[in-house]
Chains A and B, each alone.
Chain A
Amino acid sequence: MTLKIERVKGDPVALDGDRAVAEAMRQMNPDVVAAYPITPQTEIVQRFSEFVANGDVDTEFVPVESEHAAMSVCIGASAAGGRTQTATAGAGLAFMWEVLWVASGTRLPIVMHVVNRSLSAPLNILCDHSDSMGARDAGWIQLYGENVQEAYDNAIQTVRIAEHPDVMLPTLHALDGFIVGHNVERLELLPDEAVREFIGTYKPEHSLLDVDHPVTYGPNDYHDYFFEHKRQQAAAMEKALEIVPVIGEEYGELSGRYYGLMEEYKLDDAHFATVALGSTAGTTKVVVDELRDQGIKAGLLKLRCFRPFPAAAVAAALGNKKAIAVLDRSVSFGAQGNPLFLEVCTALLTHGFAPKVVNYVFGLGGRDTRPAQIHQVYRDLMDIESRGLVGPTLRYLGVRE
């Protein structure tokens, strides 16, 4: 299908990630938003509440009494056939855990903006990916953004991805708490009309409010049908792998910023590659540039779409590298590697590659990860390559011993 989309000129502004997301929400004008405040997402709900109070949106905002209620209200609202969004972080996402599965099992195209925050205990309000990683099996599509522009752009695209008739899965996009959420950056906003046209109108197939055609949502399955319902979900996730880049391409035509499943930064001829999600990918780009200036063939695979995991594309991009470092901003205690590492390794192995790969846990609980540390990662990779020895697979970057 050839798209005839006219490029629009964006409006350059300076906003922090939370406010940029709130702005995207204003432009998307969802029918219902139910959300509970939690640092570092609070600015999203506060800013959005201002839009509601000023009549800038038609949204019915439900100031729920907990995050579990937020997702539960979203489930009811989405089943009632309208656009529904929420936002959360850390423990808030954890509190919704049970109903995340209900949302995806019921195939409701709910959109959630997650401002990545660690999970207690000990209590920590700062950035890491343990919240969204903890929910990686919940059947939600997961996109990760590097900076404020990406947070804004991802927010808008999630609606189209979730609602695609071949997908119909709840979708979240994540932005790093504080680092992107509270950090003011320059970005370009699309005009309101462009966003409205891009997301179009939602036409639900089976609404609870269609009293003339009563439907039953959420029956109880037994051993005879549950497996089939889950198989359908798996198929939808597979389909999403095709749809995410299609929507990203369309968005690119509109905005000039093209999105796919990942971004390959100086990766093609690289010998040493890092795989990362979120803002640390930005830090890594700086390091890659510095190393290239020194004649070192460094590269970065910035993953955007974590669920579904683009195994074939990742394997193709990394298969021929001499040494690879996968950076995980969360821990899967007791596993031999952390979520992103396990996905990357499996992708490589199942596509016939076996390069040297190591896993770095970094940045837990808001621990700052600076260029110097990323430089260390590349030195480690070069060392691995020169000695022909991987050494320890699981490493911790930036922890005090």
Chain B
Amino acid sequence: MAINLKQMSAEQDLLAPGHRACAGCPETIIVRQVLHAIEDPVVVATPTGCLEIVSSPYPYTSWRVPWIHSAFENAASTIAGVETMYRSLVKQGKMEDRGIKFIAFAGDGATYDIGLQFLSGALERGHKFLYVCLNNEAYMNTGIQRSSATPLGTWTTTSPVGAVMPGKKENRKDITAIIAAHNIPYVAQAAPHAWRDLMTKAQKAVAADGPSFINVLAPCPRGWRFPPEESIAISRLAVETCVWSLYEVIDGEWRLSHRPSSKKPIADWLKSQGRFQHLLRPGNEHLVDTLQQAVDREWAKLLERCKVAAS
């Protein structure tokens, strides 16, 4: 289906308004974009987290599609169960094949940490579902605690900036590479400012003959400490500084989706959000250097994987 905003805007949003997401929350932007991009009927699973909480406070639901939440760690298993039942019922002729697509929208907490086993198992078994990670780089719903997606040096409530420690001590996990190592047909990274790229990736993902995964950056005004109107601008800045990269891994082949025309320095990224404020204090220049080196290293590695020249 061609990605045409005017056409899409004529269709009803499958996530209804009236949900309790914070003003400026990118998670609901991402969900809207993905669901508009996919033509087929869908069933969605969401683990415990911001999206689930804001979209289903009993007796209200924002979901205009069949939707299930069961627990925090098991969105992948839950949607795998739905997908398996679908295959079983269609195979036995107990229901018609409606071309239903199965999607999980899960936070980084549910994906990188508590749910990694469940996701890995579901991917290994080859269930046909799309798993979208809404990566706001911390356990936001419980009040901004660190996850293994939280970048080095970031302030969170469980990696606070104190007298002896400057924020998170560990580098973030490269979950997308871990998922790619499961050798599933489609893996990607995306960001909500690049809506056409995200929508195209969602379409490619659900068309894949097997499990698919898209890691989407979700800049959180509350947790990252920036004004709500900047969610999309911050997403753009993440890509411009190469802190977040847009790429695909299609049947094992790494493909860069976007290369910033001029790579902005990490200081621009750090200045834009309160969670990094401590790093800009005099005396912390070495930390900024460490972070710049980490970004450069990861970026260089990605270029190599994508077989793109470094300069």
Q: Do A and B come from one complex?
A: yes
Bound-complex Cα distance A82 to B58 (A): 25
Let me know if A211 is at the binding interface, CB within 8 A: yes
Cross-interface CB contact of B82 among A79, A215, A220, cutoff 8 Å: A79
Contact call B74/A79, Cβ cutoff below 8 A: no
Total chain B interface residues with beta-carbon distance under 8 A? 49
Contact call B79/A76, Cβ cutoff below 8 A: yes
Bound-complex Cα distance A262 to B206 (A): 52
Q: Name the interface size band of chain A.
A: 35 or more
Contact call B80/A222, Cβ cutoff below 8 A: no
**B95 CB contacts on chain A under 8 angstroms:** 209
Contact call B57/A76, Cβ cutoff below 8 A: no
**B121 CB contacts on chain A under 8 angstroms:** 64-66, 69
Minimum CB–CB distance from A191 to chain B (whole Å) comes to 21
**B66 CB contacts on chain A under 8 angstroms:** 208-211, 214-217
Minimum CB–CB distance from A56 to chain B (whole Å) comes to 14
B82-126 CB mask vs A (1 if < 8 Å, else 0) is 111111110110110010100000000000000001101110110
What's the count of A-B pairs with C-beta under 8 Å? 168
Let me know if B56 is at the binding interface, CB within 8 A: yes
Cross-interface CB contact of B86 among A99, A209, A219, A220, cutoff 8 Å: A209
Minimum CB–CB distance from A212 to chain B (whole Å) comes to 9
Contacting A at CB under 8 A, from B37-96, are 41-43, 45, 52-53, 56-61, 63-71, 73-74, 77-89, 91-92, 94-95
Give 17 A-B pairs besides A80-B86, A82-B88, A220-B69 with Cβ atoms closer than 8 angstroms.
A31-B85, A64-B121, A69-B74, A72-B78, A72-B81, A73-B81, A76-B68, A76-B81, A77-B88, A79-B68, A79-B81, A81-B89, A82-B85, A99-B71, A209-B100, A211-B66, A214-B65
Report B's interface with A, CB cutoff 8 A: 41-43, 45, 52-53, 56-61, 63-71, 73-74, 77-89, 91-92, 94-95, 98, 100, 117-118, 120-122, 124-125
Report A's interface with B, CB cutoff 8 A: 31-32, 34, 58-60, 62-66, 68-69, 72-82, 84, 98-99, 102, 106, 208-211, 214-222, 225
A-B CB contact pairs (8 Å), 13 listed? A60-B85, A75-B78, A76-B80, A79-B68, A79-B81, A80-B85, A98-B71, A209-B85, A211-B41, A211-B65, A216-B63, A216-B66, A219-B60
